[in-house]
Structure 1
Amino acid sequence: MSYTLFIGNKNTDAWSMGPWVLMKQAGIAFNEQPVRSDATESLELKKALRAVTPLGKLPVLVDPSLGSNPSIWDSLAMCEYLAEVHPELNLWPTDRTARARARSLCAEMHAGFQEMRAMCPMNIDARLPSIGERLIHKNNAFCEDLNRLVNMWQTQLKLSGGPMLFGQFSIADAYFVSMCMRIRTYALPVSPPVQAYISRILALPSVAEWIAKAEQDADFFIHETPSLQA
């Protein structure tokens, strides 16, 4: 089986980071196809991507074994597909109750935390503590998102006993890794158990590899970032 994963810039593409980290950490082989996604090349980007997905957005996973329609788009759909195709890897928790909770947390990440994602876009190469401090003091919706995230992680780590959200590394950890990067970049305040969890995430070989490559890419576009324009 030969997967191809189309991803954006490693410094900024949060949605691509999750499936990439999941596949690397789980030992699922794939060909990486980076696609530059800044605004000046948006037409070329959409043209290239629409050859493999109707949305023209990243990331996209291509599995030739699917025949004439080999593409899976949307990061959560990719994770679900990989868990189905590779049941031996236990990408979701094996316990049914834990698995249901893990799916719920990932779905909440997929649909929620919109203020935090908008105001603190992923920018791995940067350190922007002043922006984080300003948001903490002036943006109530942002603070609600951050508090929910911290409480979610802290509660789940207590339930599972760690070291990852559900004990062993799973889709849930891969799905939230971009939030770990935001907390680091913007120096957002979190509890000691959550900070320890973030440190463990950053130490994973797959995450360390992504970060190293992100620091080489290091593209960031201020016009796309509301918090940097204030």
Structure 2
Amino acid sequence: MERPTLYIANKNYSSWSFRPWIALTGVGIDFEEVLIPFDYPGGNCDIKAISPSGNVPVLQHGALKIWESLAIIEYAAELYPEACLLPRDRAARALARSVSMEMLSGFRALRGACPMNIRRPRARIVLPDGVDADVRRIETIWRDLLEKSGGPFLFGAFGAADAMFAPVVNRFDIYDLVHRDDTLAYMRTMKAHPAWRKWEDAARAERWIVAEDEV
């Protein structure tokens, strides 16, 4: 099978790139990585040249291009069923898709106020309306899934849903947003995953600095 190529942006900032990258890496799918850095304020013509949407991530597999994080993860789950990115049980698989879609389309207050930034020192900020509600909802999702599956990841083994929430783990950490023991335990599990550590090490080694309002 032809090896796919995943186009991503800066590892320190790009939550959208982080999701498919940690999904594929976390279950051992082999792919070529191409990083195209943000180049503000004018954008990066290299991204526009390879991406139908003008954004990354993009997965290229032969002549086919797939964009948007969850679409890439779903495609990889079909292409590599043995990797078990999605649960084998139909009901669990539907639930994994539901929470992944909720993450994809929701939690705008949290996203807007607390951009992903691997290198940011941990410190609280003044939070606008809506962030606390987003945090409580995410904690409820995690708690319910972990109780149902028994952990240590949301559906037992690491998979698509964990990848979709991976940037939130960074946000909860660096903005000091959560203090529940079960939430913190899940975050420690995610941050201990070899794929997380590999991404984090690379992010900390990057030299690019992008203003938070440009990410």
Alignment length (residue pairs) = 214
Distance of 2:52 and 2:121 partners within structure 1:
36
* Preserved CA contact (<8 Å) 2:115 2:212: no
Counting only pairs closer than 5 Å after superposition, residues 1-230 of structure 1 correspond to structure 2 as: 1-42=2-43, 45=44, 47-64=45-62, 67=63, 70-131=64-125, 134-135=126-127, 139-217=128-206, 219-222=208-211, 224=213
* Preserved CA contact (<8 Å) 1:129 1:188: no
Structure 1 residues 101-123: Cα deviation after superposition (integer angstroms, max 9, x where no partner): 10000000000011101100001
Question: Structure 1 residues 117, 167: closer, same or farther in 2, change over 3 A?
Answer: same
* Preserved CA contact (<8 Å) 1:154 1:193: yes
Structure 2 unpaired stretches of 5+: none
Distance of 1:89 and 1:33 partners within structure 2:
22
Question: Which amino acid is 1:151 matched to?
Answer: T
Q: Which moved more, 1:202-211 or 1:186-195?
A: 186-195
Distance of 2:31 and 2:51 partners within structure 1:
18
Distance of 1:147 and 1:62 partners within structure 2:
36
> TM-score by structure 2 length?
0.94
Identity within the alignment, %:
37
Point out the structure with max Rg over C-alpha: 1
* Preserved CA contact (<8 Å) 2:109 2:129: no
Give RMSD over aligned pairs.
1.6
Structure 1 unpaired stretches of 5+: none
